[in-house]
Amino acid sequence: MVSEEDLIRTVSEAFAQGWRQVKLYFMCGLPTEEDDDVLQIADMAHNVIRAGRAASGRNDVRCTISIGGFVPKPHTPFQWAAQAHPDVVDSRLRKLRDKVNSNRKLGRNVGMRYHDGEPSLIEGLLARGDRRVGRVIERVWREGGRFDGWSEHFSYPRWVDASAAELEPLGVSLEWFTTRERDRDEVLPWDHLDSGLERDWLWDDWQDALAGREQDDCRWTPCFDCGVCPATGTDIEVGPSGTTLLPLTVVNPIRGNAGTGG
Ligand code: SF4
């Protein structure tokens, strides 16, 4: 629930105070996402440069957009979601780069950092796989896989081939674990592990996400019964507490003292 207006106001303030570069972080491949959602990142980056130039009076401000492929994780509302295929993520990021550069005057001040979609798909396999995926990991290792978190060592074909060899005889596949949406009744491999969050609450939150319904911060609203506080014996600080948690105005003690004659 952070609007683009909030973002532009904040970066304008930072540029006005002398900062010359901002970095913005995004994810690509979120459920229900379409090309246009990602292409709007280019408009936002261009607007950041415009705002930075206006606030600083300089042309050399920079905006770096850093984008990771979205990987659904257990114990989150997206544990049922279909992960986007690497071809979809890569194609969206290519279109985004073209759109950023389509305005040369603004685009030359925008940098882009992103990873290919393929490692994210393997991360998705490891994140939501069950014990059958252990065979894939062992096979990749036996065939020379080491330090796969380093791009120069990562081999996507090795993972694809090992998945085909080990999973298909068992009636499942790399896609079955990653790009397939699960339904509510499916028993998930981590359902016996208690993270404190209730499954029904996670499902409702997943439905809210699909419908684009925003969820308020539970410190300022009635409790949504997600289950965490009772499960962990926690009482979170609920508001409005009347206490200002962060100083919203800079306090200058020297000036303050001078003003009182101290
Ligand atoms: S108050 Fe605690 S139990 Fe209620 S929604 Fe927030 S974190 Fe969950």
Q: Is the pLDDT of residue 250 over 60?
A: no
| Mean pLDDT along residues 180-204 | 94
pLDDT of 125-136, one tens digit each? 999 999 999 999
The percent of residues above 70 in pLDDT, for the chain, comes to 90
- For residue 100, give both structure tokens: 């950023």
Q: Is the pLDDT of residue 159 over 90?
A: yes
Contacts 24+ apart (CB under 8 A), 225-233: 225/198, 225/201, 226/197, 226/198, 226/201, 227/196, 227/197, 227/198, 227/201, 228/196, 228/197, 231/194, 231/196, 231/197, 232/196
Q: Give the pLDDT confidence score for residue 166 in this predicted structure.
A: 98
- Distance between CA atoms of 192 and 243, rounded to whole angstroms? 40
Where does the pLDDT of residue 258 fall: very low under 50, low under 70, confident under 90, or very high at 90 and above?
A: very low
Where does the pLDDT of residue 235 fall: very low under 50, low under 70, confident under 90, or very high at 90 and above?
A: confident
Highest mean pLDDT among 60-64, 149-153, 258-262: 60-64
Assessment of whether the complete model's pTM goes beyond 0.95: no
Choose the weakest-confidence range: 11-15, 84-88, 201-205, 224-228: 224-228
Average pLDDT in the chain: 90
Considering the domain 1-116 in this protein, what is its CATH number? Answer: 3.30.750
DSSP state of 11: H
- Asked if residue 133 lies in contact with residue 177, where contact means CB atoms within 8 angstroms, the answer is yes
Ligand 1 centre to CA of 164 (Å) is 42
The three-point CA angle 39-69-61 to 5° equals 55
- Whether 218 is in the pocket of ligand 1, judged by its Cβ within 6 Å, is yes
In the chain, the amino acid numbered 162 is A
- Whether 220 is in the pocket of ligand 1, judged by its Cβ within 6 Å, is no
- Whether 231 is in the pocket of ligand 1, judged by its Cβ within 6 Å, is no
- Asked if residue 22 lies in contact with residue 47, where contact means CB atoms within 8 angstroms, the answer is no
pLDDT of 1-47, one tens digit each? 788 999 999 999 999 999 999 999 999 999 999 999 999 999 999 99
Please report the DSSP string for 164-212 in residue order. HHHHGGGT--HHHHHTPPPPTTSPPTTTTS--S--HHHHHHHHHHHHHT
- Whether 210 is in the pocket of ligand 1, judged by its Cβ within 6 Å, is no
Q: How many CB atoms lie under 10 A from the CB of residue 1?
A: 7
| Mean pLDDT along residues 133-147 | 97
Q: How far is CA 215 from the centre of its chain?
A: 17
Q: Is the pLDDT of residue 157 over 80?
A: yes
Where does the pLDDT of residue 246 fall: very low under 50, low under 70, confident under 90, or very high at 90 and above?
A: low
Protein residue with least CA distance to atom 6, ligand 1? 218
| Mean pLDDT along residues 45-52 | 97
pLDDT of 68-118, one tens digit each? 999 999 999 999 999 999 999 999 999 999 999 999 999 999 999 998 899
Q: Give the pLDDT confidence score for residue 260 in this predicted structure.
A: 41
Q: Give the pLDDT confidence score for residue 232 in this predicted structure.
A: 84
Residues in the chain: 262
Q: Give the pLDDT confidence score for residue 111 in this predicted structure.
A: 97
- Whether 236 is in the pocket of ligand 1, judged by its Cβ within 6 Å, is yes
Q: Give the pLDDT confidence score for residue 261 in this predicted structure.
A: 38
Where does the pLDDT of residue 191 fall: very low under 50, low under 70, confident under 90, or very high at 90 and above?
A: very high
